[in-house]
Homo-oligomer: A and B are copies of this chain.
């Protein structure tokens, strides 16, 4: 078989370990030997599964972006069946998104994207296909439905989605010191409530 089902699938362990080490050290500073150690595997095994350091990096990032996207899409779920009081649903979704956005792996992924996007132009695809774009699209869909149902007043759902995300994640950059400091759940709730408040000021209907 092409994929070695022998052992407990080393490949996945390698990709996981790779992302961990890349997240900790950055691409250039991370050495393959350390990745092998982290994955509990010998160095030649790494090169046996992935051709070279660059493709190793690419695959690790791809995988991380995939799972991050799925998590964030799942966080939107409550919007499919919203509470009569839209505010509580928005705050719920907002809080989930913030929790994911401040997650360690998430922060590392964003840091690595920012730092290596010039050296790895293919990461642009990750951004559009598994990144903010997709999430914005899904959120815009939900907001459009809510507008049709008369619970919202978003003439341009894409823009509304964009601003909702901006109000949520914008304040994080400064407060988390660019993702280096974890911030408490209380502060997260505070940000969420503020974001939802101004969002509803701009796009809410009478039933707020």
Whether A174 touches B133, Cβ cut-off 8 Å, given contacts A110-B114, A180-B118, A198-B198, is: yes
A170 to B: closest C-beta gap in Å: 2
Taking CB atoms, residues of chain B closer than 8 Å to A117 are 111, 177-180
Complex Cα distance, B179 from A174, in Å, reads 18
Complex Cα distance, B133 from A113, in Å, reads 24
A27 to B: closest C-beta gap in Å: 8
Of the listed residues A113, A136, A163, A202, the one surrounded by the most CB atoms of chain B closer than 10 A to its CB is A163
Top 5 nearest A-B pairs (CB, nearest first) are: A166-B170, A115-B115, A28-B28, A198-B202, A114-B114
Taking CB atoms, residues of chain B closer than 8 Å to A159 are 194
Please name the residue on chain B nearest to A198 by beta carbon.
B202
